Amino acid sequence: MLEKYQKNLIAHRGIYDNIIIPENSLKAFKQAIKNKLPIEFDIHLTKDNNLIIFHDYNLKRLTNSNLNIKKMTVEELKKLNILNTNEQLPTLEEALKLINKKVPIIIEIKAHHNEQKLIKVLLKQLSSYQGNVIIQTFNTKIIKLLKKKKSKYKIGLLISNKTDKKLFKILKISTLNINYCKPDFLSISKNIIKRKHLQKYLTKYPIYIWTIQKKEEILKINNSTYSYVCDNLPYK
């Protein structure tokens, strides 16, 4: 039964195990390309205004260096290895060169500062790339800025209920953000996809569900029109 969803699967941070193949690494992207799966990855703006691929704002979880990406240059970041491997943090340029139109790309923008600069750098680096790219973010300001620039890229709003602050949690899962930034698609946590207040949007927008970790979760949601951002791919 899962076969009908196969074309809707997306490799979250590539295909990795965080043992031999670390997440958001060129090696993880090569595995996704080998399996002909779209790749989702995260970008940050560095101190020297470049774009590096990594999920967390802080490097400690995967490099054991308690440093923040925004305070480091690419040269400094390239001295670090991911986990106990020889893989380094890739730049966006390196990832684009590797992927080279072979599979679609979903770029998540990580930013709570300097959004204008990040967008400028991102659009410049993407300008010569001919492959299929869409962009997503939790940051409504970024969506508004990209819309204002009339970017050719589809831009989606990420929606989650993960936060320690109650008021912020209410805002994050409310429909106010959707109405404010008018995204092209919604990327919704699997934990809140069935919330009543979101139901009317599920037929109005393309929907991405994250992060799926077992094939049974896809069958439970049971909608072959959604796209599924998944760990532990490819599913057997």
pLDDT digits (tens, 9 = 90+) for 59-74: 999 999 999 999 999 9
Per the annotation, the verdict on 55 as an active-site residue is yes
Catalytic-residue membership of 197: no
Whole-angstrom distance, CA of residue 90 vs CA of residue 67: 17
pLDDT in tens, 5-37: 889 999 999 999 999 999 999 999 999 999 999
Q: Give the count of beta carbons closer than 10 Å to the beta carbon of residue 222.
A: 9
pLDDT, mean over the chain? 93
pLDDT digits (tens, 9 = 90+) for 119-130: 999 999 999 999
- The catalytic position among 12, 112, 113, 197 is 12
Residue-by-residue DSSP string for 13-58? TSS--SSSS-TTSHHHHHHHHHTT--EEEEEEE-TTS-EEE-SSSB
State the pLDDT at residue 2: 73
Q: Which of 55, 112, 113, 197 is catalytic?
A: 55
Give all domains of the chain, ordered by start, each with its CATH number.
Answer: 1-114 (3.20.20.190)
DSSP SS3 for 231? coil
